[in-house]
């Protein structure tokens, strides 16, 4: 069963690598990839706008291949966490992560595992999710204050150091929000990036905000990714007999970290859940007349990945509704890219709806939009999981209040 899942994910990864070869000549693919690698990766940098569809997809495919290779080298058995890490890393490879800048942070986590005299496979999820801070690798080089070579070297050393520090910080972050923020590394990375950015600013170093976005790809991306998600659903039905019974059970889970649907409910129902989430959120973006940009597709792929680790329709839709209500009542346009990303990534608070009910899930989504719109200044765009950072803050504030109101004991048992 697990080998079959590896095969399905590998086919998806192959699609990302083959599509560029179909639509463009190899030389243009390489040029797009080089442009991506050379570009500043600070939020929000849409790789489709930088290197074209061919360059962005090829980069995502290479990063996905690297992730799968790490899984195989460490002889890992596929589970919900590995699926979530793969799709999140690949999704963000459309805006911010590339085949070059992910390695220093991974190396830092590897060095930490050596320091602790433990197997790296115990830290593989932290290493992959920790690539949220990948922009730190090259961002200093674009200031050109100390010389490009020195700045890049310094950026690499900083990223390695960050990777070394992330495992203990990630563990403590989980205690802070008690498992109600699915993007735990977003909180850990946000705290680390905020400290780092505050020190940069103390030396007079700041980074200009960016908003590079692609447009006009809705039809192509809807056809491609809808076909992929439908294929996931079909595959799930072919490998599961008790679909309705198991999906009802899955939908009753809170989704609180770590809710591993692959281990708890099996491969078939997990892929059905992933495919359904992907389709629903593509439809949502189209209904509000939004653009399926690189970041938007990355967000949807992240949701799909966490369809194996905590998200389902019952606990995500209330949070989505809360973000919509907040956007309608506040100053932001519902179909602006920032709000689309806040709505999609805001589903990292799905466990709040799963634990406390739909009404409290709406409240969580409502506050998430306002909080996330004010977080990027703190970390200067160095933390790609900006919504995870905001979601962690929202969970830290709301969970104890909700648990007190409902008289629920939500203490996490470590």
CA 373 to chain centre: 17
- For residue 414, the model assigns a pLDDT of 47
Q: Would you say 207 and 381 are in contact if contact means Cβ atoms under 8 Å apart?
A: yes
Q: Could you list the residue range(s) of the whole structural domain that residue 117 is in?
A: 2-176
| 58 falls within a domain | yes
* Closest to 257 (Cα-Cα) out of 171, 375, 386, 191: 171
- For residue 185, the model assigns a pLDDT of 96
Cα 102 to Cα 86: distance, rounded to the nearest angstrom: 13
- For residue 358, the model assigns a pLDDT of 97
Q: Which residues contact 235 (CB under 8 A, 6 or more apart)?
A: 8, 268, 271
Those residues of the chain that have pLDDT short of 50 are 414
The interaxial angle of helices 2-23 and 47-73, nearest 10 deg, is 150
Handedness of CA 20, 22, 25, 26 (dihedral sign): positive
Token pair 């709000």 in the structure block, residue? 339
| 150 falls within a domain | yes
Cα 386 to Cα 316: distance, rounded to the nearest angstrom: 18
Q: Which residues contact 150 (CB under 8 A, 6 or more apart)?
A: none
Angle at 185 (CA atoms; ends 184, 189), nearest 5 degrees: 130
Cα 166 to Cα 157: distance, rounded to the nearest angstrom: 14
| 67 falls within a domain | yes
| 186 falls within a domain | no
Structural domain count of the chain: 1
* Closest to 105 (Cα-Cα) out of 30, 193, 32, 28: 193
- For residue 37, the model assigns a pLDDT of 93
- For residue 40, the model assigns a pLDDT of 81
Using a pLDDT cut of 70, give the percent of the chain over it: 97
| 316 falls within a domain | no
Cα 97 to Cα 135: distance, rounded to the nearest angstrom: 8
For residue range 170-210, what is the model confidence (pLDDT) as tens digits? 999 999 999 999 999 999 999 999 998 998 889 888 877 78
* Closest to 113 (Cα-Cα) out of 104, 121, 101, 105: 121
| 277 falls within a domain | no
| 286 falls within a domain | no
| 388 falls within a domain | no
């Amino acid at each position: 069963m697990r080998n079959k899942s590896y095969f399905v994910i590998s086919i998806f990864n192959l699609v990302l690598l083959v599509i560029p070869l179909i639509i463009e000549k190899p030389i243009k693919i390489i040029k797009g990839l080089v442009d991506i690698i050379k570009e500043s990766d600070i939020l929000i940098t849409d790789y489709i706008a930088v290197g074209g569809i061919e360059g962005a997809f090829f980069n995502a495919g290479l990063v996905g291949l690297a992730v799968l290779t790490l899984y195989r080298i460490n002889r890992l058995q596929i589970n919900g966490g590995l699926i979530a890490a793969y799709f999140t890393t690949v999704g963000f490879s459309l805006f911010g992560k590339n085949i070059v800048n992910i390695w220093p942070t991974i190396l830092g986590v590897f060095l930490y595992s050596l320091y602790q005299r433990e197997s790296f496979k115990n830290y593989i999820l932290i290493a992959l999710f920790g690539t949220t801070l990948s922009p730190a690798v090259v961002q200093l080089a674009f200031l050109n204050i100390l010389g490009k070579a020195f700045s890049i070297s310094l950026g690499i050393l900083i990223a390695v150091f960050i990777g070394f520090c992330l495992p203990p910080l990630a563990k403590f972050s989980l205690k802070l929000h008690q498992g109600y923020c699915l993007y735990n590394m977003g909180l850990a990375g946000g705290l680390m990036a905020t400290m780092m950015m505050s020190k940069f600013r103390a030396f007079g170093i700041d980074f200009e905000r960016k908003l590079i976005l692609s447009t006009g790809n809705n039809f192509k991306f809807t056809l491609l990714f809808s076909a992929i998600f439908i294929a996931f659903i079909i595959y799930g039905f072919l490998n599961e007999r008790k679909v309705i019974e198991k999906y009802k059970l899955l939908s009753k889970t809170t989704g609180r970290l770590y809710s591993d649907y692959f281990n708890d409910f099996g491969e078939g129902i997990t892929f059905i859940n992933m495919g359904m989430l992907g389709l629903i959120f593509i439809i949502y973006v189209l209904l509000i007349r939004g653009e399926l940009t690189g970041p938007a597709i990355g967000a949807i792929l992240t949701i799909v990945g966490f369809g194996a680790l905590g998200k389902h329709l019952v606990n995500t839709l209330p949070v989505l509704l809360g973000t919509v209500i907040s956007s309608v009542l506040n100053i932001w346009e519902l179909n602006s890219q920032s709000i689309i990303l806040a709505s999609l990534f805001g589903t990292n608070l799905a466990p709040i709806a799963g634990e406390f009910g739909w009404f409290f899930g709406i409240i969580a989504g409502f506050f998430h939009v306002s909080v996330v719109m004010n977080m990027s200044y703190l970390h200067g765009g160095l933390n790609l999981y900006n919504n995870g950072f905001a979601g962690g803050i929202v969970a830290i504030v709301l969970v104890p209040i909700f648990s007190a109101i409902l008289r629920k004991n939500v203490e996490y048992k470590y």
